[in-house]
Amino acid sequence: MKSIKRFIIMLQFFTTIPIKQNIKSDVEDYGKGLVFAPLVGLIIGIMLTGVYYGLEPFFSSQVIFVFIIIAYIILTGGIHLDGLADTFDGLFSGKSKEKILEIMRDSRIGTNGVLAIVCLLLLNYKLFVSLDVQDVKVILILFPASGRIASLIGAGASRYARETWGLGKSFIDFCGLKEIIAGSIIYMLAFYIAFGVEGLIIAAITIVFPYIILKLITRKIQGATGDVLGALCEINQTCFLTCIVLFNGTNFIPI
């Protein structure tokens, strides 16, 4: 079945999980397969939860969250952080669209990229350790899913910014409203199961937020690239943690 094939392709592309399966695919499979991105995020989250409980008997929560962040980077191969760095290097260069895209394609990382990664990881860590909860299982499961819904929205709600082929073209050209709706249903269902009706509020925020960021980026480069999809993923995960900390502090979500 195409759905199973595309789900496996997404697992192979977005994670370092060793799936030794040679699958014949075309560019359409990548764009259409993005509908499974939130589900891939949930799988990553389940694995992060396993890391947390495996380390809980030996370390404090502050130390465990460092390991969680490291485990996340290993599980994803740092692919989205790379996109974040490239996007910030380009957007904050103060150059024209063509030069921004050229900088984003450069494999070397610049000052803005380093600062973006460091600031985001530090903020994520502080938000993790600020969680006043007894059980972080649900939060860790939903954390990567909140990033992947942003990549799905970024691909389905934009056009490809480059005139030449790039890694993100397959995703952006073949992902559309149908994939956004189907992926959002999976995503919102997960939040409803986790937090009830209140969880749908956070789900809605983390669906709207990447769309707003995407529109701001589109003003600069008239579209999106694979790097932008990665940046949206990382930024939206931080948005999710921020919402959890704020809402938990007001007892809006009883975790």
* pTM (predicted TM-score): 0.93
Q: Is the residue at 12 inside a domain?
A: no
Q: Is the residue at 205 inside a domain?
A: yes
Q: Is the residue at 57 inside a domain?
A: yes
Q: Is the residue at 230 inside a domain?
A: yes
Supply the mean pLDDT for the chain: 90
Q: Is the residue at 156 inside a domain?
A: yes
Q: Is the residue at 87 inside a domain?
A: yes
pLDDT at 55: 94
CB 37 within 8 A of CB 152: yes
Query: What are the DSSP calls for 141-153, one per residue?
Result: HHHHHHHHHHHHH
Q: How many domains does the chain have?
A: 1
Q: Is the residue at 91 inside a domain?
A: yes
pLDDT at 249: 58
CB 178 within 8 A of CB 31: no
pLDDT at 163: 78
- What tens digit of pLDDT does each residue of 133-159 get? 666 889 999 999 999 999 999 999 999
- Two tokens at 105? 């394609």
CB 159 within 8 A of CB 172: yes
Quote the CA–CA distance of 117 and 29 in Å, as a whole number. Answer: 30
pLDDT at 28: 82
Q: Alpha-carbon torsion 59, 242, 240, 220, what sign?
A: negative
pLDDT at 46: 96
Question: Judging by beta carbons within 10 Å of its beta carbon (0-12, 13-18, 19+), is residue 217 exposed, middle or buried?
Answer: buried
pLDDT at 43: 96
Q: Is the residue at 255 inside a domain?
A: no
Stretches where the chain sits below pLDDT 50 are none
What is the extent of the structural domain holding 60?
A: 2-7+25-242
